[in-house]
Amino acid sequence: MTILSRRPTGETKIDGDLVQSSTFEPVSTTPRYRPPKAGIDPDREKTWLRRAMPVVLSHKRMFITSLVLSFVGLVIQVQIPKILQDAIQNAVVFRRAGLSGYITVMLVLAVAAGIAGYISRYYLMRTAYEIEFDLRNIMYMHLSKMSFPFYDRVQSGQLISRANSDIRSVQMYLTFAPSILVQCSVALVAFGYMLSINVLLALVAMIPMPLVYFLGVEMRKRIFPVSWLIQARLADVATIVDENTNGVRVVKSFAAEQRELTTLAKSTNRLEWSYVKDADIRATFTPTVQNLPQIGLALILMFGGWLALGGHLPVAAIISFSLYIVMLQAPFQMLGQIIMMSQRAAASAQRIYEILDEQPTVVDRPGAVDLVDCRGDVQFDRVKFKYLDDNPYVLDNFDLHLASGETVAMVGRTGSGKSTVARLLARFYDVNEGRVLIDDRDVRDLTLASVRGNVGIVLDEPFLFSVSIRDNIAYGAPNADIDDIVAAAKAAGADEFIKELPEGYDTVVGERGYTLSGGQRQRIAIARTLLVNPPVLVLDDATSAIDVQVELTIHGALRELMKGRTTLIIAHRLSTISLADRVLLMDQGRIVADGTHAELMATVPLYAEVLAQGERDDAARLSADRVDGNSTVAREAGFGLDSEPNGPMWSGGGH
């Protein structure tokens, strides 16, 4: 597998000398897992089973070996009733032979059947887990390729459910249904032996079997819609749990626990109804399907006894017939199970295919080339963009030019389109009209990996993974030396508070980084982007949660790092705006003013109004962040705490 990556720009030490490097180049890495050998057939006209067959056939050697050995083991077991009949006839009734030979043969067959069954089961389970592994990776690989518009409209709980319970349902059917069918096929072998003993009695014994087929067809019709409903409602429950887990701070801040429990209870009640309906269908059909062979056993005793009394059938044959009927019970008991599995799997497969059949909307064009030796010249040319077709334009005839190495601040009211500019620059979305150019090349003519490798974005709501701080900073450059990681942290003003944590850079942060304050998370996010060292840097309110005093301490490092780098700062603070060469004022999707801070303050009343509103919002946000960081997160985290009860709880000065 090849992963595209950009060699960091700026100064790189080679043989002790500092050289400039700014090329994007593909780097081949060895994956730590075996990629799937095959994928889901994209032909939507095929049945769900035929579409999944390439994945199954990619493991055909192990799977076929398992099925063959299962068949062999069952055929061996089928011999035992016939041997038992011969033993009773020859050794017990007519005393023409001893029992020891028959006992030895039966023991040998039992051991052989046990060995075949063990190997068969081992290979079957390995096949099952490998197919599940492949399906999960196929799903995740597809999700990793999907564009942002897809995630804007799909609930994460739905994705989690389809990637877990739905995949498990499909995997169970793909692997265990053939095994059950093999056991059912052995019933034909047993029926052949029954025919060899007495044709008429064999036909009488099989009288109930057609009823099993018709009941199975009716059961399948009724259980499919219920199976679909169960999987859909399982996904609804997963969505509620996922949202409440991720939004636990919002729930608790509004004391809405009981309301959310009520919402979950309503969803689980709907799921319970589906399960009860499923159980009702099973209770109606399954006992009948499983016990119909018992009627065959009664017919054997009645009709076979009559034949034996008339001297037309050996008494021992009735025993072997009875054992064969008992052997037929297991396949017929499993027949009801396989019907239910098939309907659950069909419903799950269709839900999985709904995801896999979605295609990414932002992809590399044919002939797209890598962006190499990026100078950082950025231009928006008459850009129009809206997130949904029936929504108004967020950007309307938007024009912007950022010269190579220039630092520009962008200011505007909430909803004026500032963050959208950053998203279009990194090609998270494609424009509806116009062009976004980097170094005079339309970003749609460049590979996605190279565009995003050259454009670094620090968002206003940074996301951290539940790994160490070192790994979070090195996310974009996993092979970075610790010295480089520390240097990036120092430049972002994060080194001081990181060193005061219990494990320093090896401290594992909580989920989404909530064991850190908002300001600390933002500084780690800044360090993560600085380590990659992109030629184009976008700071989207990246210091909004950082205390002004702390922000000022990192401005010197930021100014140094911005030299020779094109930087777009989306901000509302005067302290942040001071980093820029010029300031742009946005309103209703357009730039309405362009100049220095002093010029705009003197000539554009809207500019002063936006800054004033931004300062008020900033004060309110920082106040809330202090309360959250000091009274809740710090106590939960249990690290970085001052020993004095009235002292600062976060030792990093983190806000």
**Domain edges within the chain:** 48-356, 378-637
Amino acid at 608: A
pLDDT digits (tens, 9 = 90+) for 246-297: 666 566 655 666 777 787 788 888 888 888 887 888 777 777 766 676 777 7
Residue scoring higher pLDDT (146 or 241) = 146
Higher-confidence position of 160 and 408: 408
At 273 the pLDDT is 84
Please name the residue that has the structure tokens 């396989």.
338
Q: Looking at per-residue confidence, does 473 or 578 come out higher?
A: 473
pLDDT, mean of residues 227-254: 69
Task: List, in sequence order, every residue forming a beta bridge with 398; answer none if it has no partner.
Answer: 383
pLDDT of 455 above 50:
yes
> Minimum mean pLDDT among 170-179, 561-570, 630-639: which range?
630-639
Query: CATH classification of 378-637, choosing from 3.40.50.300, 3.30.70.1450, 3.40.250.10, 3.20.20.70?
Result: 3.40.50.300
SS3 annotation, 260-322:
HHHHHHHHHHHHHHHHHHHHHHHHHHHHHHHHHHHHHHHHHHHHHHHHHHCCCCCHHHHHHHH
- Cα gap 649→631, rounded to integer Å: 8
Assign 385 a pLDDT band (cuts: 50, 70, 90): very high
pLDDT of residue 248: 60
The lowest-confidence range among 83-87, 405-409, 537-541 is 83-87
| pLDDT average, residue stretch 38-51 | 89
Reply yes or no on whether the pLDDT at 14 is more than 60: no
According to the model, what pLDDT value does residue 431 have? 92
- Which CA distances in Å does 119 have to 52, 64, 79? 25, 12, 20
In the block, tokens 């494609």 appear at 430
Are 653 and 547 in contact by the 8 Å Cβ rule? The answer is yes
Cβ-count burial of 560 within 10 angstroms (0-12 exposed, 13-18 middle, 19+ buried)? exposed
CA nearest to 57, candidates 162, 175, 182, 180: 175
Residues forming beta bridges with residue 436, ordered by sequence position: 380
Residue 424 is predicted with a pLDDT of 92
Q: State the helix-helix crossing angle for 257-299 and 209-246, rounded to 10 degrees.
A: 170
Task: Supply the pTM of this predicted model.
Answer: 0.70
**359-371 average pLDDT score:** 88
Q: Is the pLDDT of residue 643 over 60?
A: no
Higher pLDDT, 306 or 617: 306
The answer on pLDDT for 148 being more than 80 is: yes
User: Which pLDDT value is given to residue 425?
Assistant: 92
pLDDT at 102: 77
Q: Give the residue, 644 or 429, on which the prediction is more confident.
A: 429
Share of the chain above pLDDT 90, in %: 9
Is pLDDT above 50 for 532?
A: yes
Look at the alpha carbons of 470, 460, 442, 533 in this order and tell me if their dihedral is positive or negative: negative
Band the pLDDT of 92: cuts 50, 70, 90. Answer: low
Average confidence (pLDDT) over 438-463: 86
pLDDT at 435: 93
Identify the DSSP state of 628.
Answer: I
Both tokens of 360, joined, read 């990414």
pLDDT of 547 reads 63
Residues 46-73: what's their mean pLDDT?
90
C-beta pairs of 242-247 under 8 Å, 24+ apart in sequence: 242/155, 242/156, 242/157, 242/160, 243/155, 243/156, 243/157, 246/512
Q: Which tens digits make up the pLDDT trace of 437-449?
A: 999 999 999 988 8
3-state secondary structure 184-232: HHHHHHHHHHHHHHCHHHHHHHCCCHHHHHHHHHHHHHHHHHHHHHHHH
d(CA 421, CA 394): 10
Evaluate whether 470 touches 394 at the Cβ level (below 8 Å).
no
Residue 135 has pLDDT above 50, yes or no: yes
Query: With 50 as the cut, is the pLDDT of residue 142 above it?
Result: yes
Mean pLDDT across 369-394: 88
> Counting beta carbons within 10 angstroms of the beta carbon of residue 458, is it exposed (0 to 12), middle (13 to 18) or buried (19 or more)?
buried
Q: Distance (Å, rounded) from C-alpha 478 to C-alpha 487?
A: 15
Provide the pLDDT for residue 99. 73
| pLDDT attached to residue 178 | 87
- Summarize pLDDT for 559-613 with one digit per residue, the tens: 766 777 898 988 877 777 878 888 999 888 889 888 888 888 888 888 888 888 7
Q: Tell me the fold of 48-356.
A: ABC transporter transmembrane region fold (1.20.1560)
Average pLDDT over all residues of the chain: 77
> Which segment of 67-76, 324-333, 497-506 scores lowest on mean pLDDT?
324-333
Question: For position 601, what pLDDT does the model report?
Answer: 87
Asked if pLDDT for residue 474 goes beyond 80, the answer is yes
pLDDT-derived band at 378, boundaries 50, 70, 90: very high
Q: How high is the pLDDT of residue 160?
A: 78
Identify the CA nearest to 278 among candidates 232, 320, 324: 232
Highest mean pLDDT: which of 8-12, 59-63, 81-85, 304-308? 59-63
What is the number of alpha carbons within 13 Å of residue 641 lying toward its C-beta? Answer: 16
173 has a pLDDT exceeding 80: yes
